[in-house]
Amino acid sequence: MSLWEYKMFTSGKGGFASPAMMEKFLNDLGREEWEIVQFHTQPDNFLAFTGLARRSTQRDWTLQDAAAAAAKVEADRLRVEFEAKFKAAASTAPAVDEPRSAGFIEEKASPDDGFRKPVDTSRDDDPEAQEDDKADEWDKLTAAEEDELPTFFEALKPHMRRNQRGPGQSVGVDFLAKKWDQTEEDLKGALVECGFVLPADEDSKAEYIEYDGDLYWLNINRRGELWINTKEKPRPVFRTVKAPRIELPAEEPKSGDRKPETGDGKPATGETPAESASAESETRETREAKIENPEPLPAGPALLDRIRPHMRRNRRGPGGSGSTTFLARALRTNESALREAFVAFGLTLPTAASDQPVYTEHGDELWWLNVDSRGGLWINGREKRPGETALSAAEGEAAAASGESAAPPVDPSHPQVETGAGSLAAVRLLLKETRTGSFAAKVESLAEELGRSPEEFLATLTTAGLKVPEKAREKIVSVPLGEEMLWLSKNARGELWLNAKAAKQAAAGDEEPGEAGADESAADKPRGSRLMRGLRRITGTASADESRD
């Protein structure tokens, strides 16, 4: 992080006398490394100004700057020494005798008379001795120069900047090579000598070294550039201890606890089916081991009467369903006993989730078992459709699984399911009265009430003679039913409706369901045949006038 010092500067009230003086003042600021942040001049005199300047307190380190700083320190030290000696010589106090070295005595005994001192020539014939002397002098010279230089780590600090990709600071080796006027290979050699480990690529693991309480490491970025990084050494704030492990008894789940499930028995979590199945098997075994004395289950129809209050509405079709896991807790028994009771009643246990259900008839109801994706067993039950048997239900399920449209069951004893006028009469009872005096209902709603698919129900209507319109304003094709006419229509939203109206009203005009006028009085409405009025009163769809009749 950069540290700045700020300075306010001004030209005075009257300003400078000439532009040259103003330029010299600004050049002096730049020479002192001041950076002008704000500069304001007067509108009537551009030579009068005020401003704010700043400069960084951290300077870029160079060898020349370091040598100049060392020379300045040495000059200051010599100045202080000479000043002290001058004051001591000028004082009246007697001088203190200082111990004199042998060199001082020799200099006084032989004053400088212009001749050089004698040189020892006893070893001139020995070439090795001369080389050793020269090497010693060079080593002393280089050692003295190296002691004045900063260390590699100290030279790095002025050039390092805040790391934008993590804590600490960093600097590029190519930047240092330009600053220090050296090659990158020389710097890499210096890094290795300092203890750094050069990474092979950008995915190499960082190798840390420590110097003066800081951590240093190298890394290579995506462009292949080598970077030097540093940060403070983390201080330990805790110490790890190993705690002994103990086994606690598992808490028994309450009878009312139940995990949320979807319509097909799948848990509303993100776990995989394999993990769910293993966890379900473990919990099932644990629960069965805890129930030591399970309550006996009734046999035959009494078993279904006992189970029925605990079942919920089936989300994937008509009727209800319940999992053996929940039913075993509710009946205070285990799942194995519940499976044996199902088999004794005549239900077939499936082996996989993809098995087709095997229906079992019980009065006006169909019962069957299925397995969900986790391996859990479910019992299902629903009311039989008119004329439906266990065999026909199984055939319809197989046809739906294969993608074919199953034909509706035909039973002569039930006129409601006969094709033609019989089927239309059964459906006519489910239509609801509209504001215009006609009767209508959505085809999808009728199919759901009859427990059939929309495609199967629509096939029954077309077999009876009704025509499905392709667009909303298409001419209708009606089918007579007693004194009424039935037809299919499609509204602007694409919904298919079944409509019924008296023959006279149908001849007067064709209207979509719910779009006729509401100003028609109840006395003017044709009521149809006596038989149809009676059927509407039985089903609760008759109007107020028809109820009085």
Between CA 519 and CA 525, with CA 522 as vertex, the angle to 5 degrees is 95
Cα distances (Å, whole numbers) of residue 447 to 332, 424, 429: 39, 13, 13
- In this prediction, residue 189 has a pLDDT band, given cuts at 50, 70 and 90, of very high
Q: Quick one: average pLDDT of 132-156?
A: 68
Contact, 510 vs 476, CB < 8 A?
yes
Length of the chain: 549
Query: Do residues 370 and 433 share a domain?
Result: no
Of 265, 377, 365, 370, nearest in space to 308 by CA = 365
- Percentage, residues of the chain above pLDDT 70: 67
Contact, 295 vs 332, CB < 8 A?
yes
Provide the CB-side half-sphere exposure for 68 (13 A, CA).
Answer: 5
Query: Can you give the residue range of the structural domain that contains 205?
Result: 152-232
Label residue 85 left, alpha or beta by phi (over 0 means left) and psi (-120 to 50 means alpha).
alpha
Q: Is the pLDDT of residue 206 over 50?
A: yes
Which of 341, 369, 384 is a domain's end point? 384
Q: What is the pLDDT of residue 197?
A: 92
Query: Do residues 358 and 433 share a domain?
Result: no
Cα distances (Å, whole numbers) of residue 507 to 206, 301, 484, 502: 90, 55, 11, 9
Q: What is the pLDDT of residue 484?
A: 85
Top-confidence residue, 97 or 193: 193
Residue with tokens 């008509």: 318
Highest mean pLDDT among 1-15, 179-193, 466-480, 494-508: 179-193
Q: Quick one: average pLDDT of 510-514?
A: 43
| Torsion angles phi and psi, residue 192, rounded to 5 | -65, -40
Give the start-end residues of each E strand in 279-418.
312-313, 320-323, 360-362, 365-371, 377-383
93 inside domain:
no
Of 528, 449, 455, nearest in space to 486 by CA = 528
86 inside domain:
no
Which of 343, 369, 384 is a domain's end point? 384
542 inside domain:
yes
Q: Quick one: average pLDDT of 124-132?
A: 59
Cα distances (Å, whole numbers) of residue 173 to 9, 59, 127, 222, 307: 39, 19, 45, 15, 79
Cα distances (Å, whole numbers) of residue 314 to 106, 311, 378: 121, 9, 11
Cα distances (Å, whole numbers) of residue 296 to 48, 230, 336, 337, 401: 108, 75, 12, 8, 38
Query: Do residues 207 and 299 share a domain?
Result: no
Q: How far apart are CA 391 and CA 350, in angstroms?
A: 17
368 inside domain:
yes
Q: How far apart are CA 381 and CA 379, in angstroms?
A: 7
Between CA 18 and CA 21, with CA 20 as vertex, the angle to 5 degrees is 70
Q: How far apart are CA 400 and CA 469, in angstroms?
A: 25
Between CA 537 and CA 541, with CA 540 as vertex, the angle to 5 degrees is 85
- Identity of the residue numbered 56: S
Query: Do residues 439 and 328 share a domain?
Result: no
Query: Do residues 430 and 529 share a domain?
Result: yes
Contact, 375 vs 350, CB < 8 A?
no
Residue 519 tokens read as: 């100003």
Residue 374 tokens read as: 């986790």
β-bridge partners, 35: 54
Angle between helices 184-193 and 173-180 (to 10 degrees): 110
Q: Quick one: average pLDDT of 537-547?
A: 52
Q: What is the pLDDT of residue 220?
A: 93
Torsion of CA 490, 492, 494, 500, to 10 degrees: -20
Query: Do residues 420 and 364 share a domain?
Result: no
Residue with tokens 């039950």: 381
Top-confidence residue, 296 or 17: 17
Query: Do residues 50 and 157 share a domain?
Result: no
312 inside domain:
yes
Residues 6+ apart with CB under 8 A from 283: none
Query: Do residues 542 and 421 share a domain?
Result: yes
Contact, 187 vs 228, CB < 8 A?
no
Query: Do residues 425 and 543 share a domain?
Result: yes
Of 231, 243, 249, 252, nearest in space to 160 by CA = 231
Which of 205, 232, 259 is a domain's end point? 232
Contact, 196 vs 209, CB < 8 A?
yes
Query: Do residues 368 and 438 share a domain?
Result: no
Top-confidence residue, 520 or 169: 169
Q: How far apart are CA 401 and CA 399, in angstroms?
A: 5
Convert the pLDDT of each residue in 390-434 to its tens digit: 787 777 776 666 554 444 444 433 333 344 555 677 788 788 888
247 inside domain:
no
Residue 40 tokens read as: 């304001």
Q: How far apart are CA 330 and CA 297, in angstroms?
A: 12
Query: Do residues 374 and 466 share a domain?
Result: no
Residues 6+ apart with CB under 8 A from 265: 323, 372, 373, 374, 376, 378
Query: Do residues 423 and 538 share a domain?
Result: yes
Contact, 7 vs 35, CB < 8 A?
no
96 inside domain:
no
- Range name among 241-250, 288-297, 380-389 with the lowest pLDDT average: 288-297
Contact, 497 vs 489, CB < 8 A?
yes
Task: Report the domain count for the chain.
Answer: 4
Q: Quick one: average pLDDT of 473-501?
A: 85
119 inside domain:
no
Q: What is the pLDDT of residue 505?
A: 60
Mean pLDDT over each residue of the chain, to the nearest integer: 75
